[in-house]
Amino acid sequence: MLKEYNFDLSSRNTFRMKARCACFVEYGSVDELYSIDFDSLPKPVKHIGGGSNLLFTGDFPGTILHSAIKYVKYVDLGLDEVPVVVGSGVVWDDLVAELCGHGLWGAENLSLIPGEVGAAAVQNIGAYGVEIKDLISGVSCFDLQEKKPCKFSVGECAYGYRESMFKESGGRYIITSVLLRVSRVPRPRLEYKGLAGVDPSSPGAIRDAIIAIRRTKLPDPEETGSAGSFFKNPVITAADFVRVCDAAAPGSIVPHYVLDGGMIKVPAAWLIDQCGFKGEKEGGAAVYEKQPLVIVNATGSATPGDVLELERRIIATVHEKFGVELHPEVEHI
């Protein structure tokens, strides 16, 4: 177990914000987690994963917890539907690479998403028509309130678009492992626009195609700090959509997806783009040129204040022009 006071978090968040926490605790097994004396730790206690969907807005006065539970157990590789138990500290994309290497279908569309398995299950990561909830059968946790282990079925996790019961619970549950079901039977999911023509012959071939697409649109985490999509794609009523169309430049076609129930999802990237924010700078922070949904630490020395000011300007401008309220996807701590 690693326990350090006054810990520097800059290498623990992909935005590379300089922030410190009063205490940092990293456990390597469920037993180590159960042995932690939570009452003695500086409060509040906040659990993080790979730090790829976080913005530290300043120093954190409490304890940051991190899982280094790293194991992948295949219950029976001979089955058509292979159950796999994965420790919460496994790097998500390492797992996807391993599953694709075994010729197992299900996770390939979620290639190259940064972060770790526990956090992926908290926020229901998604890309190219697939969400992690489509693979999850159950989640094992430690209940911080009752101080005991507990399990949830996928239904009990109450997953929605980047939403879950874990997010709603305000950090009550620490995920220790996730039970996934992946398939030996070919199951290519290529309906998402942009995937037409992708070689569907193996999960590895689809993984390669997804990686190539992501590399053209999203910043390379090795080079540029960011937290991926900064905003959620807003879901609006048909009446509000008419207002968006009225406000759009004459002759433009507003990209949108009609959801079950009639609500309409509009790409935040499009709304931000229409407000002229591509490449816009605020101190060391900038709106990424190739995907305006992403705010980057362009200089490597952006401050939380720079990012927050850019966020505020984007939300205000999009609201003023289109009447749509953007909400950050990135968790502010």
Interface with ligand EPU by CB under 6 A: which residues? Answer: 127-128, 228-229, 232-233, 255, 267, 269-270, 273, 291-293, 329
Three-state secondary-structure class, residue 166: helix
Cβ at position 233, least distance to ligand EPU in Å: 5
DSSP 75-117: S-TTSSEEEEEEETTSBHHHHHHHHHHTT-BSSGGGTT--SBH
Cβ at position 234, least distance to ligand EPU in Å: 10
Cβ at position 276, least distance to ligand EPU in Å: 12
Q: Which stretches of the chain are assigned E, i.e. beta strand?
A: 2-8, 20-27, 45-48, 54-55, 60-67, 72-74, 81-87, 126-127, 130-131, 136-143, 148-153, 173-183, 225-229, 235-236, 257-258, 264-265, 281-282, 285-287, 294-297, 331-332
Three-state secondary-structure class, residue 183: strand
**Of the listed 12, 229, 280, 311, which one is catalytic?**
229
Residue nearest to ligand EPU (CB): 228
Whichever of 82 and 227 has its CB closer to ligand EPU, that residue is 227
User: Cβ atoms within 10 A of the Cβ of 102, count?
Assistant: 14
Tell me whether residue 162 is one of the annotated catalytic residues.
Answer: yes
Whichever of 68 and 263 has its CB closer to ligand EPU, that residue is 263
State both tokens at 202: 């193996």
Tell me whether residue 184 is one of the annotated catalytic residues.
Answer: no
Cβ at position 195, least distance to ligand EPU in Å: 9
Strands 285-287 and 173-183: unpaired
Whichever of 73 and 332 has its CB closer to ligand EPU, that residue is 332
Whichever of 178 and 268 has its CB closer to ligand EPU, that residue is 268
**Of the listed 12, 16, 162, 181, which one is catalytic?**
162
User: Quick one: which of 4, 166, 178 has its CA closest to 87?
Assistant: 178
Amino acid (1-letter code) at residue 111? S
Strands 60-67 and 45-48: parallel
Tell me whether residue 229 is one of the annotated catalytic residues.
Answer: yes
Whichever of 106 and 138 has its CB closer to ligand EPU, that residue is 106
Cβ at position 125, least distance to ligand EPU in Å: 7
Catalytic positions: 162, 229, 329
